[in-house]
Amino acid sequence: MSFTLLAVQILNGLQFGLILFLVAAGLTLVFGVMDFVNLAHGVQYMLGAYLTSVAVAKTGSFGLGLVLGLGGSLGLGFLFELLLFRHLTRRDHLEQVLATFAVILIVTDAVKAIFGAAPLPLPVPHGLDGAIELMPGLAYPVWRLVVIASGLAVAFLLWFLITRTRTGMLLRAGSTHPAMVSALGVDIDRVFLFVFAFGAMLAGFAGAMAGPILSVEPAMGDTVLILAFVVIVIGGIGSVRGALVASIVVGLVDTLGRAFATDLLRLVVDRSTAAQAGPAIASMAIYVLMAIVLVFRPTGLFTGERAWTRAA
Amino acid sequence: MNETRSLPRRLAALALHPATAILGLAAVVVAGQLLGEGFWVTLAARAAILALAALSLSFVLGQGGLVGFGHAAPFGLGAYAVLIAGEHGIRDILALLPLAFLAGAAFALPTGALALRTRGVYFIMITLAFAQMAYFVFAAMSGLGGDDGMGIAGSATLLGWKFLRSESNLAWLAIGLLAAASLFLHAATRARFGFVLRAARDAEARTAALGYSVFRTRLVAWALSAGIAGLAGALMAEQTGFVSPALMSWHRSGELIVMVVLGGARRLSGAVVGAILVVLVEEFLGQTTEYWKLGLGLLILAVVMARVVDFGSLLRRRADG
């Protein structure tokens, strides 16, 4: 296990974690502010990747395609909220789970019917498709660095929005005291609408950024959805800060586990046992992490005072 | 009972009665046997097996308010119990069913004890986490076929008689177990145990203040439910003759929740109706179109929105504004 390999895997883990953060941030906001369990969030990630892929192919420019893809994701967010989810807030969580699960089934099959089950191409944009040498012997793809940078930028933007602006203040107030905020003359349904659409756009952005690395296919939202739930539960529901910390931890644990678990196990057990147990332990690692966190802190790591959305 | 109930209401109550659905399954098996339609028998068996799994989940979800998002794990463990016992030469159904029950319950006791420390969505997610761990453990066991799974040694026997060779015997066994489990769980909900379970769902602090151990009641219910899910898994292994980690995927856990909530979580029989509905939609839409999940999704959405949206008030608001 050389130092460069370790460095590359750490960067990969960071990049994966920040993609997860983009998905989880919207999910945790919708959950924390509106108390709404949205299983269809993974679908919004998938739709973002598809819209961007189609727009890039039509316009021939990644930048323009990305803008159109984000606009489309935002529009779909508005549409979903107005048509369906508006009626489900303040309802039983189980009804929400059922309805959003239905949305997953419908949208995934509709996408399959329109675009086919085969992955769509979404090439890395021109000029960002190379690799740069971070230090001697360590070349790293530029696109992955762009993903890391944009994830961190979104994290900063969210922190600023939530803690330093009037909108953020409304959001924080709305998450803890919706009735009071409403009584003060704020249209809380409108706040929810914008939070939801914004979250959908962030998920779409994550899909667009991950598209060139992973493949753009109908089922791409499924795995990300479960991982995003793991992230927000570890971080504490409603906490964007928790989502950031937890997504980076989950990204690193998962990536490093897959890269090194077998080699590490070989130090203590024989080769064939390690070859068998290594991948199992690596796949389980994040779930074990979540279970441990929940056993010791049953409501996640960052709750109450330490979350951005709750009193700050 | 209530003399003033109108006829449609009485018919609805009859249709939703647990016995109706179970007798309906039995009627399908009889008809299938008489008309030589093997497919009907297979379908009824499959519906009864999944209904048994959904029923077990409904007991903790509806009565206990514990939304388990990992019931595929005890279900799959029951199936693996059949596979592993078969590898060791144990093929008698009288041994396999208790083993499957124990496999499910033994998984549920320690994981449940940890999971029950959390509430609400955190509980949903920690049960998912434990199910995913079980999934990945079995996916890594190359001796049991790993990711691909493997076929069971042969269909189960009853005291040496090759009882489960016949598809209709399996269907009868599944329907019989479903009926027995329905009766047993129904009795449990009427007993003090069931009252404490429901009381804890509605007002945990008050129930605890009355001196009942909420934790112990929930844990017992959780293990019992997982054991019954294990029985369903064992039957599934017998029906398909094949066991793989896919039985434990989170999709199946989600599907079971859908069955329970679709049929109505408050009554146990809702799970049976929901499971039969989902199996029918899967089967008949699946025959006509490749995109049957779209149809299932639309059906679920229609049911939920009909329950949730107050159309009357929407219309009034339009008229007022």
Give the pLDDT confidence of A84-140 residue by residue, as tens digits.
888 888 778 888 888 888 999 999 999 999 998 888 888 888 878 888 887 777 888
What is the pLDDT, as a whole number, of residue B267?
Answer: 85
Average pLDDT of every residue of chain B = 86
Is A253 part of the contact surface with chain B (CB cutoff 8 Å)?
A: no
Is the Cα torsion angle A303, A308, A309, A312 positive or negative in sign? positive
Core vs surface per residue B71-91: b (16+ CB within 10 A) or e: bbbbbbbbbbbbbbbbeeeeb
What is the pLDDT, as a whole number, of residue B310?
Answer: 62
Residues 6+ apart with CB under 8 A from A168: A161, A162
pTM: 0.86
Backbone angles phi, psi at A125, to 5 degrees: -60, 150
pLDDT > 70? residue B312 = no
Of A260, A250, A252, A261, nearest in space to A287 by CA: A250
Backbone angles phi, psi at A216, to 5 degrees: -85, 100
Round to whole Å and give the CA distance between A62 and A68.
10
What is the pLDDT, as a whole number, of residue A77?
Answer: 94
Of B73, B118, B204, nearest in space to A295 by CA: B118
Please list every residue in chain A whose beta carbon sits closer than 8 Å to the beta carbon of residue B309.
87
pLDDT class of B283 with cuts at 50, 70, 90 = confident
What is the pLDDT, as a whole number, of residue A312?
Answer: 34
Q: What is the pLDDT along chain A (312 residues), one digit of tens a residue?
A: 578 888 889 999 999 999 999 999 989 888 888 888 888 999 999 999 999 999 999 998 888 999 999 999 999 999 999 988 888 887 788 888 888 889 999 999 999 999 988 888 888 888 788 888 877 778 888 899 999 999 999 999 998 988 888 888 888 888 778 788 888 888 888 888 998 999 999 999 999 999 888 889 988 888 888 899 889 889 988 888 899 999 999 999 999 988 888 888 888 888 777 877 788 888 888 888 988 888 888 888 887 554 555 433
Instruction: State how far residue A133 is from chain B, nearest Cα, in angstroms.
Output: 37
What is the pLDDT, as a whole number, of residue B321?
Answer: 41
Pick the more confident residue, A61 or B53: B53
The pLDDT of B288-316, averaged and rounded, is 78
What is the pLDDT, as a whole number, of residue B1?
Answer: 46
Residues 6+ apart with CB under 8 A from A97: A37, A39, B257, B261
What is the pLDDT, as a whole number, of residue B195?
Answer: 93
Each residue of B145-172: pLDDT tens digit? 778 888 887 777 777 677 777 788 889 9
Round to whole Å and give the CA distance between B108 and B225.
9
pLDDT > 60? residue B318 = no
Residue of B nearest to A299 (CA): B122
Backbone angles phi, psi at A122, to 5 degrees: -140, 90
8 Å CB contact between B77 and B103: yes
Please list every residue in chain B whose beta carbon sits closer than 8 Å to the beta carbon of residue A98.
257-258, 261-262, 300, 303-304
Q: Specify the amino acid at residue B23.
A: L
Size of interface A-B (CB pairs under 8 A): 132
What is the pLDDT, as a whole number, of residue B269?
Answer: 84
Is A108 part of the contact surface with chain B (CB cutoff 8 Å)?
A: yes
CB contact under 8 A, B305 and A233: no
Round to whole Å and give the CA distance between A44 and A107.
9
pLDDT class of B126 with cuts at 50, 70, 90 = confident
DSSP letters spanning A32-82? HHH----TTHHHHHHHHHHHHHHHHHHHS-HHHHHHHHHHHHHHHHHHHHH
The pLDDT of B71-90, averaged and rounded, is 92
The pLDDT of B116-144, averaged and rounded, is 86
DSSP letters spanning B200-253? HHH-HHHHHHTT--HHHHHHHHHHHHHHHHHHHHHHHHHHHSEE-GGGGSHHHH
Residues 6+ apart with CB under 8 A from B105: B74, B223, B224, B226, B227, B230
**Rg of chain B, C-alpha, whole Å:** 20
CB contact under 8 A, B257 and A109: no
DSSP letters spanning B48-99? HHHHHHHHHHHIIIIIT----S-THHHHHHHHHHHHHHHHTT--BHHHHHHH
